[in-house]
Structure 1
Amino acid sequence: MKSEDNYYLAALARCRGLGSRNIQKLLGKFPSAAAIWQAPREALYLVGGLSSQQVQNLLRFRKENQLLPEQLAEQCQRLGISLCSITQGNYPNILKEIFDPPVVFYYRGQLQPEAVRVAMVGARRFTPYGESTALEFGKQLAAAGLTVVSGAARGIDTASHKGALKTGRTVAVLGCGVDVAYPAENKRLLQEIPERGGVVLSEYGPGTIPLPIFFPARNRIISGLSQGTLVVEAARHSGSLITAELSLSEGRDVFAIPGSIYSTTSQGCNHLIQQGAKLVQEPVDVLVEYGLAAPPKAKMKRQFTPEERQIWQVLSFEHPLTIDEIFDSLPDGEMSNLAFLLLQMELKGLVIENELHAYRRAERE
């Protein structure tokens, strides 16, 4: 398929009620997507496979959007967005295998079709345990050569991407256009992913705003791109479990990190383990499934001032502390420049500040 034909295919994908499976049937009957876009009414009826209503919808959509293929081509070129169609060689084969693969997707960054990918998903409202686990697993899995796939949502998704970016590649699958930053606080993250060898992709065209209906459909791409899905932290009825269920339905691996039986944010993971998901306690539990070894752990070279060492000793990896809690835990009970010292330690990579402005150690002992 010629590259310009991709934009006719992208235009067809925007026709409501047509669907990717019907578009693929049409591609088997017509020589190109452009030929489908330009086919007369009689030809569309004669090929079979489409209902009368679907033919009418397509004819009406074409009439109202005659210049859409050309407009999409211009828009993508202007915004630096690439388009990949299911007929192209760089379309990931693993994504073709799912029940309803997107016929096209838009992307920014570098596609690596044959990369070994694992999805990491979880709650938007996470605990410090979930955040630190997602950061650590994202970092270790990417360092071992896996590409971490997630949805760039608040919470576990964001932590997974950030962890992976420290050592390797990550893929963000959006429920909006790839030129739209959602959530807004992830604007820099979504710029950084393609800059550092990863990919931001979506089946929705440029400028598409996020709508609730788009996210369940987005989840099938997250699981579809991945050999397995790791659920880090999720409530019993979390949307993250949809991704795990999709992964199961496609015969892919499902992993889950256990949590406290008293934590509502771990009930979903614990339930998945009951249902047969592989219990994961450390990154190597995932890596062995794909014949990969854990990377050698680099020892952080820590250089502390005496005051920084006092702060370090009251912090932990799992439980972030606010400035007031740190102050109260210091042996002297006074350190007037505590906020400045924490900033310096963050710049050195010794501590991490979370969204609630609480601090923890950057690595486990």
Structure 2
Amino acid sequence: MADEQESLRPWLVLHRAPHIGPATFYSLIERFGSPGKVLGAGSAALRAAGLREETVAALNAPDEAAIEADLAWATQPGAHILTLADTRYPARLRTLADPPPLLYVYGDPDCLELPQLAMVGSRNPTPAGRETAQEFARHLGGRGLTITSGLALGIDAASHQGALAGGGYSVAVVGTGLDRVYPARHRELAHEIARHGALVSEFSPGTPPLAGNFPRRNRIISGLAVGVLVVEAARQSGSLITARLALEQGREVFAVPGSIHNPQARGCHQLLRQGAKLVETAQDVLEELGELVGYQVTADASSGEPSTADPKAELDAEYQKVLECIGHEPTSVDTVVERSGLTADAVCSMLLVLELQGFVAATNGGHYCQTC
């Protein structure tokens, strides 16, 4: 353990020095040979390598308290710091143009080598979108794909939850240090992911949730995965950044289509116009990724695909009529009354029953949409 920590120290010094991102980090390694040799190069050589005075000063007199804090963090059960020289560093991430020199991992680092599907989407999804993400993740996680996302509100959380509910693994790539959970309401979810997968960050312990960290971590989400599935995304969405990065990295990109009236579906439709693969079922994803991850994909009844039987057929005629008047886009009660010809009292009563049975979900502004 002492030798391992000593070998980590030069990497941590470079990592914590100001103005050293992945590109500068690797140019220094290429120039001098190793992090240890960078630190022993001397001020003149470091200046000749193009480093700023502030950076040279930090390398000559590193923040020892911060380095010791990092090393102490790594002594906790389940805590790991992987350098690019570590054999446990995920192979898919090594192929990036700018892989993080260090990865902080809490959980099982071996799961980072498992076939992963990244799932991303809106932080404010519709109820149907949230359910779609959960069901896709539950099924795909149960078939052996590790579900990777960013621990954010909305589709990210639903994807992690679905994978865990299906008995699969999940990986969360976060934009803070691993000594904190953001958003705080996902603390229990983060702990569950660490027990059945891993939390991953390129940021040192103590790093707060700075806005610039989240777009930056998206390249790791897509880089760890063999493909990215987008479930609900507005046109101006961080999820589209992840999809673009995935294309640049040579990963497969999938998108779930939605209603033309749903603003949260427009980003997915944009991706589809740009060549993303349209998926309607989890089986569609498995058929595309089967060869990449070594699956023998079948479409038989034992595949675990959610049942295609229509539960609406068991409803009374008037309840079916109300459902037919509600789209998958938000629909107002007044619109349902107008379309169905039923009284407002009857419609409100039936909507309550349908919501309790899971056929519809209430959305903002007193509207409803179908969930199945």
Identify the TM-score tier after normalising by the shorter chain.
Answer: 0.7 to 0.9
Alpha carbons 1:233, 1:257 under 8 Å: kept: yes
TM-score normalised by length of structure 1? 0.79
2:71 matched to which residue of 1?
A: 73
- SS of 1:124's equivalent in the other structure is coil
Alpha carbons 2:136, 2:282 under 8 Å: kept: yes
Q: CA RMSD in A?
A: 3.5
Whether 1:116 and 2:115 are equivalent positions in the alignment is: yes
Q: Do the aligned partners of residues 61 and 43 (structure 1) sit closer, same or farther apart at CA in structure 2, a change above 3 Å counting?
A: closer
- How far off is 1:7 after superposition? 3.5
1:246 matched to which residue of 2?
A: 245
Report the identity percentage.
38
CA distance in 1, matches of 2:359, 2:90: 38
Whether 1:218 and 2:217 are equivalent positions in the alignment is: yes
- How far off is 1:169 after superposition? 0.6
* 1:67-216 superposed matches below 5 A: 67-78=65-76, 80-111=78-109, 112-167=111-166, 168-196=168-196, 198-216=197-215
Q: Do the aligned partners of residues 186 and 132 (structure 1) sit closer, same or farther apart at CA in structure 2, a change above 3 Å counting?
A: same
- How far off is 1:22 after superposition? 2.3
Equivalent AA in structure 1 for residue 236 of structure 2: H
Q: Do the aligned partners of residues 79 and 327 (structure 1) sit closer, same or farther apart at CA in structure 2, a change above 3 Å counting?
A: farther
Equivalent AA in structure 2 for residue 181 of structure 1: V
- SS of 1:82's equivalent in the other structure is strand
1:336 matched to which residue of 2?
A: none
Alpha carbons 1:258, 1:279 under 8 Å: kept: yes
Equivalent AA in structure 2 for residue 93 of structure 1: A
- How far off is 1:201 after superposition? 0.7
CA distance in 1, matches of 2:361, 2:173: 26
Alpha carbons 1:6, 1:33 under 8 Å: kept: no
- SS of 1:158's equivalent in the other structure is helix
CA distance in 1, matches of 2:13, 2:179: 18
Alpha carbons 1:128, 1:319 under 8 Å: kept: no
CA distance in 1, matches of 2:305, 2:285: 20
1:24 matched to which residue of 2?
A: 26
Moved more, 138-147 or 58-67: 58-67
Alpha carbons 1:178, 1:202 under 8 Å: kept: yes
Alpha carbons 1:150, 1:173 under 8 Å: kept: yes
Q: Do the aligned partners of residues 355 and 65 (structure 1) sit closer, same or farther apart at CA in structure 2, a change above 3 Å counting?
A: farther
More helix, by proportion: 2
1:37-64 deviation digits (Å, cap 9, x = unpaired): 344213434xx6x3142x6523235425
Alpha carbons 2:235, 2:266 under 8 Å: kept: yes
Alignment length, in residue pairs? 327
CA distance in 2, matches of 1:225, 1:30: 28
Equivalent AA in structure 1 for residue 43 of structure 2: R
1:58-110 deviation digits (Å, cap 9, x = unpaired): 32354251454333202332575210111111111111111211000101111
Which runs of 5 or more residues in structure 2 are unaligned?
A: 308-314, 331-344
CA distance in 1, matches of 2:362, 2:144: 27
